[in-house]
Structure 1
Amino acid sequence: MILFFFGIANLTARQIEVTPGSERPELYLDMLKGKAVGIVANQTSILTHSQNKHVVDFLLEQGINLKKVFVPEHGFRGDVDAGKKVDSSIDSKTGLPIVSLYGNNKKPSAAQIADLDIIIFDLQDVGVRFYTYISTMHYVMEAAAENNKKVIIFDRPNPNGDYIDGPVLKRGFESFVGMHPIPVVHGLTVGELAKMINGEKWLKGGLTCSLEVIPIANWTHKTTYNLPVKPSPNLPNDIAIRLYPSTCFFEGSIISLGRGTLFPFQVYGYPDKNFGEFTFTPVSIPGMSTNPPLKGQLCYGVDLRNEPLTHRFTLSYVIDALKKSGKGEAFFKGYFNTLAGTDELKKQLLEGKSEAEIKRSWSADLEAYKKKRTKYLIYED
């Protein structure tokens, strides 16, 4: 049996009512019987209503012909640092081949899926454009479309699914941390986004894949959902996930967002007392961050851990740090525009525009996106 427990949270009575797609076998087992199946899975692919059983174990117990497991960034067990190589291997518990979809092999090759009829996608996303699990989903859908395979999405709640905000990605800024013309906080589950990818013909050549979404039961976009397992090494808790859309922009700057601490994405700072009274020193933490920015340097800054779980996307942290740094253009790294999905945001920040002014500049794009989004919703807003 495959076990990957990262401090499973106590589920509230309200949350126990929420049932992800993987926990609704009555909707998908008949489709899988007699088929050769592959699955995209990691440590988040668990059935919380079944003693936190991993979906791979469950499918094997049901006699499903599961032939291989594909894994995204951070690996099968979710302990590989961001951007680090994820190796293909053999799972010691089940003997199943583990095929990495990160690094040089982001898209399954025709040979890797030739022996499959169906590919299941069951990853816990966080609802933010630059979180790479949705890029992996895109490539899986594309490979399936090119090779006449079916994709089944086991849908899961979006913990940032209650609102939409941020700049919409502009053409020419596509990357693995932003493949679609959607805002930073896109307000879709992976199932809804998969429908949008198909419907808007965003796969290469305008292809569409054979797609089935196994929906979540008892969830709406307003439902609070606390993730039972951390989705990646540096999103350890609910507040980190809510802050992530805002603080991730520091990845494209000289500022530390707390990698190399036990509270990444929940603080920001720099080795300069002008940044604030709160202090932290990034260090190497195996399984989280082995070589964090500003490693070994005492950083002064701001502690955001007491922000409420109702927190929404803001530019105020970046504006604050840019002003305190006094460095202008040197504050930014090239990756900032990649994360933003546009070069306009950096220009606006350097011009000293307020958050309100900047947000007004993308309001028309957001309204157009929201109108498009309604066609693909599975769950009530």
Structure 2
Amino acid sequence: MPTPIAGIDVLLADPPFWHKHKIALVTNHAAKNKDGIPGRQALLQHQFNIQLLFSPEHGLHVKGADGAFIDDGIDPLTQLPIISLYGKKLQPSADDLKEIDYLLFDIPDVGVRFYTYLWTLSYVLEASATYQIPLIVADRPNPISGNISLSEGPMLDSGCASFIGRWPIPIRHSCTLGELANYFNQKLNLNAPLSVIKIVNYQRNSFQTDWGLPFIPTSPAIQTFESALCYGGLALLEATNISEGRGTPYAFTIAGAPWMDAKATANTFKQLSPNYVRTNNIDFIPTQGKFANQQCYGVQLEIIDKEKYQSVFIGLLLIKIIKDLHPTHFAWENYVTNVNPSGVEHLDKLLGIKNADSLFDLTLSNFITEICTLLNVEKAWQQAIHPYLLY
């Protein structure tokens, strides 16, 4: 399989006419070119006239804790000013853009609705529309595949809109950010002057592990391809008192707590789970987050077939099993972030449906029936997104 060439490398190979104009770059340190050089550095080396940097959640250096306020600063690598879009504001202001001719966006994504880089793009798209400053999205492949048949709902209920899901799409959307930018721009009549630098040699059914490239961590907890693939399901643990593995090398591939009966959880999961995944027992001590420095007992997901793996279904099923097996220990919890300071209704915001916790009060058989219906959005999503697919 050919190695895909990301939009940033397409730009660098043949700098466009606007590269001498004043550019604001929305990026972070995970955005590397094919040689592993930070995109902002490579652009400057190719005489792109970058004036300032905008950074998303986790900051330019991708080290900020999940949900933590990120302040403005100066980039030690380029000496350019950094304006945070995950601090005092989420959208570039008129003052930020008064000397800017072009906006350029280059940030790798993980293909899940509640991963916030997409919504930073949405605010930049709105700023582009408001101030009629051209926005160029340097597109990157979806690491967990662009196969629309692997998309999973629920579709976002607009009543649950937040910074982890502003506009209706499935949890696993199977698109690139360039495709979603086109979709939102036209579907919502934003009328931004938008263009997408397409990926060369991208086969949309491929996964990151097929590209012959190392996985570059996209945020503090997404350090591996496995974490990215499982994230759409096990990030739902954020709304519970179960550790999702932050502060370990296994974030979003494990679930555990000091009180968990790991053996019973694994046995029940084995009886109910599809054959594309299995669990192994794991003991771990997180260095941060829930149960920091405490011994936890839990299960680790082992993906047998990535081309069939349904992350949201598995995450929901695992939470249901743990809740049913540990009725006196399990609890829903608030999840405090910069964009949701109270932390309330976090499960509703993640799943994108109201009163999401009531699903887990159903009997197991009714629960499985209900979530299978909720998650099955492939045909409707394929029909909606098809005109905007670039690959």
Given the two structures, how large is their TM-score scaled by the length of structure 2? Answer: 0.85
Q: 1:139-191: CA deviations, max 9, x gaps?
A: 00111111110100000000123220121100110001011101100111000
1:278, distance to aligned residue in structure 2 (A) = 2.7
- Kindly provide the amino acid, as one letter, of the partner of residue 376 in structure 1: Y
Q: What corresponds to 1:142 in structure 2?
A: 126
Q: Deviations over 1:55-94 (max 9, x none)?
A: 2122212222110111111111111111112121112232
Q: How many equivalent pairs are there?
A: 351
Runs of 4 or more consecutive aligned structure 1 residues displaced over 4 Å after TM superposition = 305-308
CA change 1:361–1:96 in 2 (3 A) is closer
Aligned residues of 2:322 and 2:330 also touching (Cα < 8 A): no
Pairing partner for 2:21 from 35, 39, 53: 35
Residue 328 of structure 1 deviates from its aligned partner by 9.3
Letter in structure 1 aligned against 2:385: R
The aligned counterpart of 1:320 is 321
1:1-381 to 2 correspondences below 5 Å: 14=1, 17-25=3-11, 29-48=15-34, 51-160=35-144, 161-162=146-147, 163-201=150-188, 206-226=189-209, 228-276=215-263, 277-284=281-288, 292-305=289-302, 307-310=304-307, 311-313=309-311, 314=313, 315-327=316-328, 330-331=331-332, 333=334, 334-343=345-354, 345-352=356-363, 353-363=366-376, 365-379=377-391
Q: 1:325·1:331 contact (CA, 8 Å) conserved in 2?
A: no
CA contact (8 A) 1:329 1:350 kept: no
Runs of 5+ consecutive residues of structure 2 not aligned to the other structure? 264-280, 335-344
Supply the AA of the counterpart residue of 1:105: K
- The one-letter code sitting in structure 2 at the alignment partner of 1:96 is L
Do the aligned partners of 2:139 and 2:198 also contact (CA within 8 Å) in 1?
yes
What code does the residue aligned with 1:346 have? D
- Counterpart secondary structure, 1:212: strand
Alignment-mate amino acid for residue 107 of structure 2: L
Q: Is the 8 A contact 1:257 1:264 kept in 2?
A: yes
Identity %: 30
TM-score (normalised: structure 1): 0.87
State the 1:224 CA deviation. Answer: 2.2
> C-alpha distance in 1, partners of 2:223/2:354?
30
Shift of 1:362: 4.9
Distance change in 2, residues 1:320/1:110 (3 Å): same
Contact residue 71 and residue 88 of structure 2 kept, 8 A: no
SS in 2 for 1:39: strand
Tell me, in whole angstroms, the C-alpha distance in 1 between the residues paired with 2:303 and 2:19.
48
CA 1:329 to 1:347, structure 2 compared with 1: closer, same or farther past 3 Å?
Answer: farther
SS of 1:52's equivalent?
A: coil
Equivalent-residue separation in structure 1 for 2:215 and 2:332 (angstroms): 36
Contact 2:73 2:83 in 1 (8 A): yes
Aligned-partner residue type, residue 23 of structure 1: D
SS in 1 for 2:159: coil
CA–CA distance in structure 1, aligned partners of residues 362 and 60 of structure 2 = 43
Match for 2:373: what amino acid? Answer: R
8 Å CA contact 1:127–1:186 kept in 2: the answer is yes
Distance in 2 (CA, whole Å) between partners of 1:28 and 1:211 is 19
| Residue pair 2:24, 2:104 contacting (<8 A) in 1 also | yes
Q: How far apart in 2 are the matches of 1:279 and 1:306?
A: 19
Which AA in structure 1 matches 2:310? Answer: R
Inter-partner Cα distance in structure 1 for 2:331 and 2:294:
19
Contact 1:18 1:216 in 2 (8 A): yes
- For 2:304 and 2:286, the matched residues in 1 are separated by 21
Q: Is the 1:27–1:214 Cα contact (8 Å) retained in structure 2?
A: no
Instruction: Tell me if the contact between 1:267 and 1:305 (Cα under 8 Å) persists in the aligned partners.
Output: no
Q: Structure 1 unaligned runs (5+)? A: 1-13, 285-291
1:247 partner amino acid: L
Alpha-carbon RMSD: 2.0
Alpha-carbon distance, 1:223 to partner? 1.5
